[in-house]
């Protein structure tokens, strides 16, 4: 039986062939995802919610804008140009049980939906909600 050793001339040639193949087919441009607002919310009303969240759990624990789209967006979703695009309005990274309680209280007051996850990116097929990201609790 033949052996395989990383770094052999055959391995190097195979890697070169793969890279050349990829270079011949550049990736499709990905459209940046739009800002998603909760149903019935204007930019101004949603900014009020964000201010309340920031006041309750700290501005560093409320993720919106480009950072939110980069971390929590589905990069493949926006290649299709489909009209109905899911996603969340923002994400929060609570640092304590009290933070979680505050986020739930605020969501109830403002009639917002929540989606929680703690390992990986179980973002599901969510639409117009706030992600509660517990991944930092595991670090």
- Of the ranges 14-23, 48-57, 63-72, 107-116, the best mean pLDDT one: 48-57
Kindly report the CATH class assigned to 43-138: alpha beta
- Residue 8, classed as helix, strand or coil, is coil
- Tell me, what's the pLDDT at 86? 60
- Tell me, what's the pLDDT at 115? 85
- Residue 38, classed as helix, strand or coil, is coil
- Position 4 pLDDT exceeds 60: no
What is the residue extent of each domain of the chain?
A: 43-138
Strand arrangement of the beta sheet that strand 114-117 belongs to:
62-63, 87-92, 127-133, 114-117
Structure-model confidence comparison of residues 49 and 28, the more confident one: 49
CA–CA gap between residue 31 and residue 66 (Å, rounded): 13
Give the CB-side neighbour count of residue 35, counting CA atoms within 13 A. 11
Mean pLDDT of 92-105: 95
Average pLDDT of the chain to the nearest whole number: 78
- Tell me, what's the pLDDT at 1? 46
Over residues 100-121, the pLDDT tens digits come to: 999 999 999 999 989 887 766 6
- Residue 128, classed as helix, strand or coil, is strand
Q: Which residue is listed with tokens 């033949």?
A: 2
- Tell me, what's the pLDDT at 83? 45
- Position 74 pLDDT exceeds 70: no
């Amino acid at each position: 039986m033949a052996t395989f050793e990383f770094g052999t001339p055959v391995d190097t040639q195979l890697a070169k062939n793969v890279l050349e193949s990829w270079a011949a087919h550049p990736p499709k441009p990905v459209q940046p995802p739009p800002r998603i607002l909760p149903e019935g919310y204007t930019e101004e009303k949603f900014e009020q919610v964000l201010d309340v969240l920031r006041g309750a759990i700290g501005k560093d624990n409320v993720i919106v804008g480009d950072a939110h789209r980069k971390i929590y967006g589905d990069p493949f979703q926006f290649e299709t140009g489909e009209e109905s695009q899911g996603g969340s309005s923002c994400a929060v990274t609570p640092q304590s049980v009290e933070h979680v309680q505050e986020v739930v209280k605020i969501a109830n007051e403002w009639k917002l939906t929540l989606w929680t996850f703690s390992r990986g990116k179980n973002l599901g097929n969510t639409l117009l909600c706030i992600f509660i990201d517990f991944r930092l609790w595991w670090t």
